[in-house]
Amino acid sequence: MADQPGWIKLVQGPDGAELRAGGAWIVEHAAALDRLIAETAKAAPPKGLDLAEVTLLDSAGAWLLARATSQGEAGAVPWLNLAAEFQPLAERVLAAGPKVTPERPRPRTFVDWVADVGEGAEEVFSETLDLVAFFGEFVLALGRVILRPRRFRWKPLLVHIEQTGINALPIVGLISFLVGVVLAYQGADQLRRFGAQIFTVNMVGVSVLREMGILLTAIVVAGRSGSAFTAQIGTMQVSEEVDALRTMGLDPMEVLAIPRVAALVISLPLLTFFADLMGLLGGGVMCVLLVDITFSQYLGLLNNAVTATHFWVGMVKAPVFAILIALVGCFEGLRVSGSAESVGKMTTRSVVEGIFLVIIFDALFSVLFSILSI
């Protein structure tokens, strides 16, 4: 009975036009009712709205009727014969008043866009300053811990070494191996044209040890552990754990940042060493297949091609990159504000900034090494 959709029509009576509505005026039919109201002619203002045949009414339906009859404005059409059971609802909806549409945000203009660029630039600047300040705070906290080594937290250090180092071995190893394979394959292909295939070994050796091993490891670690640091600390921030630490007189820098940075400073060089080995192994496998040498010949050639310097040039970057990645991870984690959304935002930011800084510093190292002629 009640499921007949609502209807509204204009009826010409002896003493002027009258609107009549009936059926179910509920949200289920709202789209159709909205169209129906738009179609109902409003030539002369009707003298009233007869609601005697309305069988169901909810707030959406009442609102549509209120709007159709300009309730709350001058020239409102009075409602007639509404069933008593719907009276409280009608009163409630009418009490909400005619102007209920929330303001829509202003459409964006060119000026907004320019302002965005400016704000973005300012943000980058202030964030860089904050990061430098954070580094300063970190060094101070580190100084305090070094002066009183008892306050150092060993257990989290070991946990983080396990998570950032040992657990990353498979992925770092696989990637390095494959990059070694790719380098050797591409190198052999190009060098063959000069009859210099044998120098593939030099190329693989130098590029893996100096650049590829450390850079790839750092990028994988930034994606894996930098993001994890931000997410962990960010979640603690959301659940007010960081505030709890502060209230107990514990320094978040000391409790959260130092163990993580220290763990990464230990595990990233070790991972890099492992990545170097796997990269050289991958290159070796490819050389054996493409360049017609045995594996022991490969090792011999490698021995002649690279010196300890090449190895150390790559290795010396590892702790620096570790500090960058871990610091950015902790920094962004502590910048998380109340909401879950901001954890995601800061985590993304931490990975992007981590990788960005790693590559910037890698370039700086290159400049430095070329000045020092290493």
CB of 34 to other proteins, least distance (A): 5
Binding residue for other proteins, selected from 14, 105, 107, 149, defined by CB under 8 A: 105
Measure the CA–CA gap between 358 and 211, rounded to whole angstroms: 12
Among 55-63, 287-295, 297-305, 314-322, the segment contacting other proteins (CB under 8 A): 55-63
Measure the CA–CA gap between 296 and 302, rounded to whole angstroms: 10
Under rule CB under 8 A, residue 99 binds other proteins? yes
281 near 181, Cβ under 8 Å? no
Backbone phi, psi, residue 230, to 5°: -60, -45
Binding residue for other proteins, selected from 74, 85, 194, 371, defined by CB under 8 A: 85
Binding residue for other proteins, selected from 27, 132, 166, 374, defined by CB under 8 A: 27
Tell which positions 163-202 bind other proteins, by CB under 8 A.
Answer: none
Among 26-34, 45-53, 123-131, 274-282, the segment contacting other proteins (CB under 8 A): 26-34
Under rule CB under 8 A, residue 31 binds other proteins? yes
Alpha helices in the chain (DSSP H): 30-39, 59-68, 87-95, 110-147, 154-164, 169-192, 200-207, 213-221, 227-238, 241-247, 252, 258-290, 295-305, 308-334, 340-371
The crossing angle, in degrees rounded to 10, of helices 200-207 and 169-192 is 150
Binding residue for other proteins, selected from 44, 100, 289, 374, defined by CB under 8 A: 100
CB of 353 to other proteins, least distance (A): 22
Token pair, residue 340, equals 């879950």
Binding residue for other proteins, selected from 8, 19, 77, 93, defined by CB under 8 A: 93
Alpha helices in 248-339 (DSSP H): 252, 258-290, 295-305, 308-334
CB of 60 to other proteins, least distance (A): 6
Going by C-alpha positions, the residue among 263, 232, 265, 271 that lies closest to residue 153 is 263
Measure the CA–CA gap between 227 and 168, rounded to whole angstroms: 14
Binding residue for other proteins, selected from 14, 39, 41, 104, defined by CB under 8 A: 104
Backbone phi, psi, residue 52, to 5°: -60, -30
Among 73-81, 146-154, 191-199, 338-346, the segment contacting other proteins (CB under 8 A): 338-346
Among 61-69, 198-206, 324-332, 357-365, the segment contacting other proteins (CB under 8 A): 61-69
Going by C-alpha positions, the residue among 54, 12, 11, 60 that lies closest to residue 34 is 60
Pick the closer one to other proteins by CB: 101 or 109: 101
CA 35 to chain centre: 42
Under rule CB under 8 A, residue 39 binds other proteins? no
Under rule CB under 8 A, residue 92 binds other proteins? yes
Count of residues that bind other proteins according to CB under 8 A: 33
Measure the CA–CA gap between 19 and 43, rounded to whole angstroms: 12
Measure the CA–CA gap between 317 and 330, rounded to whole angstroms: 20
CB of 212 to other proteins, least distance (A): 39
343 near 231, Cβ under 8 Å? yes
CB of 88 to other proteins, least distance (A): 4
Under rule CB under 8 A, residue 91 binds other proteins? yes
316 near 214, Cβ under 8 Å? no
Under rule CB under 8 A, residue 60 binds other proteins? yes
Binding residue for other proteins, selected from 12, 74, 103, 149, defined by CB under 8 A: 103
Binding residue for other proteins, selected from 10, 89, 245, 288, defined by CB under 8 A: 89
**Interface contacts to other proteins, rule CB under 8 A:** 2-3, 26-27, 30-31, 34, 58-60, 63-64, 67, 85, 88-89, 91-93, 96-97, 99-105, 337-341
